[in-house]
Structure 1
C-alpha cells in the first residue's frame, strides 16, 4: 500500500504522459498513400498505439504478423517516425503543471516505457518538461520489459525509492501488471490508447482515471 504522500511518481509514456497518437495517425495515412490504399479512420490507429510499431503497421495496412511485407513497412514506419519525432505530440493537459508541483514538493518523477531509448529520450527532450524527469527507463535498460516488473523496480532503485512508496501510472494492462508486481500503487489511465472495447476497470489497478486532469487531481490530493 502506498502512503498518502508518495516519494516517487512514475508514468508510462505514450498514451499516459504524452499524446503521441496524432504522430502515428499521420504516419499511417502516409503509409497507406504510399501503398495506394484509401484512407482509414484515425481511431483505427489510436486503438493500436499500445501494440507498438508492428501493431500499428498491421492496423494501418491490414497486414498479418507473418506477411512477408511487414518488415519493409515497419522499417518505413520507423523511418518516418524518426524524421518527424515529436512534431505532432504534446503532454496531456495538466501533466506539465503536475510535474512542476511534484518537484516543488520534493517528490521524484520519471518514465518507464516500452519505447526504445532512441525514440523516448529525444521525445522527452522535445517535450521540455520542467523540471525534466529524474529517471527514464526503456527496454534498452532491462532484460525483460513490461509487463515484467524489472523496469519499474529499476526506476525505483535509481530513485532510491522503495516501490511501496511509488505510484505507477499506465494506459495498458501490462503497465498495471508491472506496477502491481513491483509493489507500487497503480493507476490506470483510461484516457489513453485502449483497444476497441477494452475496459481499464478490469486491470486490477488501485485507481482508475478517465482524463489526465483527473489524474493530476488524484496525485495532487496524495501529495498535499
Structure 2
C-alpha cells in the first residue's frame, strides 16, 4: 500500500502501544504462589493478555478450580492490577519514537481499547502519556466493544478526523475488523500478544509490521 499522511493515528493499548504482560505475569504468579502452585512461564501469560482477565485466569487455574473460585481469582487479579497497573509495563520498543514523530508532524494520536477506563487513566498518568494522548476511548464510553466500530467513530469525532483518513493499529483480529468496519486503514502489530493459533496473514490488514519503526518509516510525514 502506498504511504500517506494520515489525519490521526489510533492505537489499541495492550500488545500494541503498551507492553503490559510483565504486570500480569507478576500478579498471576503471586496468586499461584499463594495457592502453592509453580510459577507460570512468561510466554504463556504473554499470549493470553489480549484475551482478557478471564482467559488469563482460566489458563492459570482453569484445570484446578471451579467456576466460583475462578471468578474470585479473577476479581483478585483485577484488584491487584488496579492498585498498580504500570509497575512493570512500558511502551514497546520504538513506540516512543513513533509517538514523537507523530507529535512533531502535528498528527494527533489516540487510544481505542477494550480495557476499562479505571485501568487506563492511571496507566497513562504513570507513563506521563495523559497530556499527549489526544483521545482515549474505553468500553465505558460506548455501547459496543470492538470489533464494533463505535469506539473508532467516536475517537474520530473527538479528533475532528475522517475515518478514511485515519489509521488503526492493533495486535488482534478484532482490532483489524474494527478498523475495517470503520473504513480505516488497518495495521497489524505482529510484535504484540499473538497466540500460536493466530493467523495474521488472513486478517486482511492493509499493513503488517514486526516493529513500530516500520510504521514510522512507512508513514509519509
1:3-57 deviation line (CA, Å, top 9, x unaligned): 7110000000000001000111111111111111122211111110011111111
Q: Which consecutive aligned stretches of 4+ in structure 1 deviate over 6 angstroms post-superposition?
A: none
Q: What is the rounded CA distance, in whole Å, between the counterparts of 1:206 and 1:65 in structure 2? A: 42
Distance 1:38 1:174, change over 3 A: same
**Alpha carbons 2:121, 2:130 under 8 Å: kept:** no
User: TM-score, normalization: structure 1?
Assistant: 0.93
What is the DSSP-based 3-state SS (H/G/I as helix, E as strand, rest coil) of the residue aligned with 2:68? coil
Confirm or deny: 8 A CA contact 1:103 1:131 kept in the other structure.
no
SS of residue matched to 2:102:
helix
Listed as ranges, the matches of 1:27-106 within 5 Å are 27-63=27-63, 67-106=67-106
Structure 1 equivalent of residue 177 of structure 2:
177
Distance 1:122 1:63, change over 3 A: farther
Match of 1:223 in 2: 220
- In the aligned structure 2, how far is the partner of 1:123 from the partner of 1:90? 10
Equivalent residues, number: 221
TM-score by length of 2: 0.94
- 2:170 is aligned with 1:165: no
- How far did 1:130 drift? 8.3
Aligned in 2, Cα 1:205/1:168: closer, same or farther, shift over 3 Å? same
Report if aligned partners of 1:16, 1:92 keep a CA contact under 8 Å in 2.
yes
Is 1:127 the counterpart of 2:144? The answer is no
* Contact preservation (8 Å) 1:95, 1:216: no
2:4 maps to which residue? 4
Aligned to 1:136: 136
| Structure 2: tracts of 5 or more residues without a match | none
Which segments of 5 or more consecutive residues in structure 1 lack a partner in the other structure?
none
Decide whether the 8 Å contact of 2:23 with 2:86 is kept in 1.
yes
> Partners in 2 of 1:66 and 1:208 — Cα distance?
40
